[in-house]
Amino acid sequence: MERLVWRRVVLLGSPLALAILEIFHPHPAGVAGAVEQGGWFMWFHIIQVPLIGLIALAVYLLTEGMEGRAAMVSRWAIGVFAVFFSAYDAAAGIATGFALRNAQGLPAGAQQAIHEAVIDMPGLSLIFGLSIVGTGAWVVALIAAAIALRRAGAPLVHIQDRFRAMSYGNEHETSYLRTYAC
């Protein structure tokens, strides 16, 4: 019974917690706003890293105990997602927030220089490759899990509802681009 409760907490609570957190994703305007929100930007992404791991665990739990190629592909792909997307979030989100937070109290010219140094880090740098691999793995994991669940007899409507509740998609990446397109 206790295992079932924890399973439900992970399957339902992880996507809900991440969705609620995403509501508070910082979207600063200009250099001053970015520097002012740098601390929250950093902490937001520190909080998000374990939630990404829990989301990965939730997808893994969807195919737990199943056999077959689709279930195996889903489990491997969700592991790739967890590693690469967490690395992206740490490198882009935490590092950007840390740099901006440390720009507080510096002269305006120095703040501008730090802002320019980190503005493209999340979306247009080599670091973005981590996101591309992670997001691709996310898509593969969800499609493979849906196939495994369907082959196991889950009704199509049930599968759609589960994935609609779990769908993390690309909102996080595009929020980086919106945030730093100032």
pLDDT tens sequence across 124-153: 678 889 999 999 999 999 999 999 998 888
Which residues, given as ranges, of the chain have pLDDT below 70? 1, 124, 156-182
In a domain, 14, yes or no: no
Q: So what's the pLDDT on residue 58? A: 93
Residue 7: predicted pLDDT: 87
Which ranges of 89-166 would DSSP assign to H, the alpha helix? Answer: 95-102, 108-118, 128-151, 156-166
Q: Give the chain's domain count.
A: 1
Range of the domain at 83: 26-179
Note whether residue 17 is domain-resident: no
- Whether the CB-CB separation of 52 and 121 falls below 8 Å is answered with no
Establish if 10 belongs to a structural domain. Answer: no
Q: What CA–CA distances, in Å, run from 31 to 36, 42, 93, 110? A: 8, 16, 16, 11
User: What is residue 40's predicted lDDT score, i.e. its pLDDT?
Assistant: 93
pLDDT of residue 8: 87
20 occurs within a structural domain: no
Q: Identify the pLDDT of residue 99.
A: 93
Q: Is residue 65 part of a domain?
A: yes
Q: Is residue 2 part of a domain?
A: no
With respect to residue 161, please indicate whether it lies within any of the assigned structural domains.
Answer: yes
Q: 43 in a domain, yes or no?
A: yes
- pLDDT of 150 reads 87
Q: Supply the pLDDT for residue 164.
A: 61
Report which of 47, 54, 71, 74 is spatially closest to residue 12, judged by C-alpha positions: 54
Tokens of 158: 């049930």
Judge if pTM exceeds 0.85: no
